[in-house]
Amino acid sequence: MVHEHPIEVAVYAAKHDYPDLVSQMAPIMISMNFVKVVEMLPPYMVLPWIRYAQEWAKVHREIALVLRHGGREHEYGIRLGAGVHTLRTLDEVFDVSGEHAAIKVYEGGIARSTPNVPECCRKDLEAWRKRIEEGIEKIPTFSSFL
């Protein structure tokens, strides 16, 4: 039931005072449609949910949105701009192995994929992923907002 109905499980867990279960569900829910989540939550959980979701948005905006190298935007303009939900699929986002390995290069606002990821970029990507993971680890549990 946890992966099939995370919102319902979180609401049940909050209602019956299972804060660990609520916090376990919240990262799964962050990948879902924000409005749908808010519509399903009881009123007392809406404001805590908004505050929790803002923490994820902060990590996305400040760490994950643009790959930086030496304090400046990376020369290839690598972006993780699809949304906060991408923070829950880092294995897919940062998969640079095999024949699907490519990075999107933005030139004049147009994205094109490069067929291979240079070694220097692989190191930058590994460091970027580590910074994102560290940012996610610093997000307080959802139950701490209740």
Residue 86: exposed, middle, or buried by beta-carbon count in 10 A (0-12, 13-18, 19+)? middle
Contact partners, residue 113, CB within 8 Å, separation at least 6: 102, 103, 104, 105
Ordered mean pLDDT values, 10 residues apiece, the chain (146 residues): 84 84 90 89 90 95 80 66 82 67 53 61 83 95 90
pTM: 0.76
Q: How far apart are CA 3 and CA 78, in angstroms?
A: 31
Q: Which amino acid is at 9?
A: V
Contact partners, residue 18, CB within 8 Å, separation at least 6: 12
